[in-house]
Structure 1
Amino acid sequence: MAHTRNAGRPLSPHLQIYKRTLTMTMSIVHRITGLALYGGTILLVWWLLAAATSDAQFALVQAVFGSWIGLLVLFGFTWALIHHTLGGIRHLIWDVGHGFELKDVEMGARLTLASSIILTIAVWAIAYGVM
């Protein structure tokens, strides 16, 4: 039996072969937002420790979080939290056996992305309205 090697094809599928899709990108973003939530949790702990330590420490943290870069980081953390949560809900829907049609998978990805952006803006608008 003749044994052909590779025949010009890769040994296994990889990113250079697959066409990038929205669902593939959303899967990658879900993992990235999960990692970002770890960083945001550290910021939350810093804020809580500062509040428990002294007025000076709390004022320092408030100044950092109130700067334009701090607000940008907090905005990103808010989006990551909402996006990751909505992605988790989408996975939960799949876990119970729904939404596996290709059109449903694509619509779920679009809804997750759009909803995370809209909800993040809404949360910040409400927060600034309350202030």
Structure 2
Amino acid sequence: MSGTKQADSRPLSPHLGIWRYHATMFASITHRFTGMAMYFGTFLIAAWLVALASGPDAFAVFEPIISSIPGQVILFLWTVAVLFHLANGIRYLFWDGPHIGFDPKTASAVSVFNYVFAVLASVAIWAVVLLA
């Protein structure tokens, strides 16, 4: 009986039921997902380059796929993933190196900035490419 009473008085580790969601947590999870998503997008780019190098017939088969609306959406999302992963990786370098940005307000602000940067920079890159 005394063992049970002692176990009940110990603090519990945080879990999903009591954990407060914040931008830094979402940025960390997004960093992992963008890392995985970049594999698929890079495979698509590599397949396009192989088709380009294989000659006009192979390129003619692959070009409609990559220039279709779903193909363009995938490439846009790949651009967002690459830019987010880049910006968030820089944040991790500051955390690991000079230990800058650990206080919660700064960490949250940088996390939100990384999302905004990834989307706005992707829109800018695609605007330049499509309007050129």
Partner of 2:120: 118
Per mean C-alpha deviation after superposition, the further-off stretch among 98-107 and 15-24 is: 15-24
By percentage of residues, which structure has more helix?
A: 2
Please report how far the alpha carbon of residue 54 of structure 1 lies from its aligned counterpart in structure 2 after TM superposition.
2.1
Partner of 1:13, secondary structure, is coil
Q: Which runs of 5+ in 1 are unaligned?
A: none
Q: Which runs of 5+ in 2 are unaligned?
A: none
- The Cα offsets for residues 7-56 of structure 1, whole Å up to 9 and x where unpaired, read as 39896432232122111111111100000001111112211111121212
Partner of 2:47: 46
Instruction: Name the CA distance, whole Å, in 1 between partners of 2:9 and 2:81.
Output: 41
Is the contact between residue 22 and residue 108 of structure 2 (CA under 8 Å) also seen in structure 1? no
Per mean C-alpha deviation after superposition, the further-off stretch among 9-18 and 115-124 is: 9-18
Q: CA 1:100/1:12 → structure 2, altered by over 3 Å: closer, same or farther?
A: closer
Partner of 1:58: 59
Per mean C-alpha deviation after superposition, the further-off stretch among 6-15 and 79-88 is: 6-15
Kindly provide the amino acid, as one letter, of the partner of residue 36 in structure 1: A
Instruction: Name the CA distance, whole Å, in 1 between partners of 2:9 and 2:26.
Output: 28
Partner of 2:104: 102
Partner of 2:94: 93
- The Cα offsets for residues 33-84 of structure 1, whole Å up to 9 and x where unpaired, read as 0000011111122111111212121122211011010000000000000011
Q: CA 1:121/1:111 → structure 2, altered by over 3 Å: closer, same or farther?
A: same
Kindly provide the amino acid, as one letter, of the partner of residue 80 in structure 1: A
Q: CA 1:57/1:97 → structure 2, altered by over 3 Å: closer, same or farther?
A: same
Partner of 2:4: 4
| RMSD between superposed Cα atoms in Å | 2.1
Partner of 1:32: 33
Of all paired residues, the percent bearing the same amino acid is: 37
Partner of 1:75: 76
Instruction: Name the CA distance, whole Å, in 1 between partners of 2:14 and 2:4.
Output: 18
- When the two structures are aligned, how many residues end up with a matched partner? 130
TM-score by length of 1: 0.89
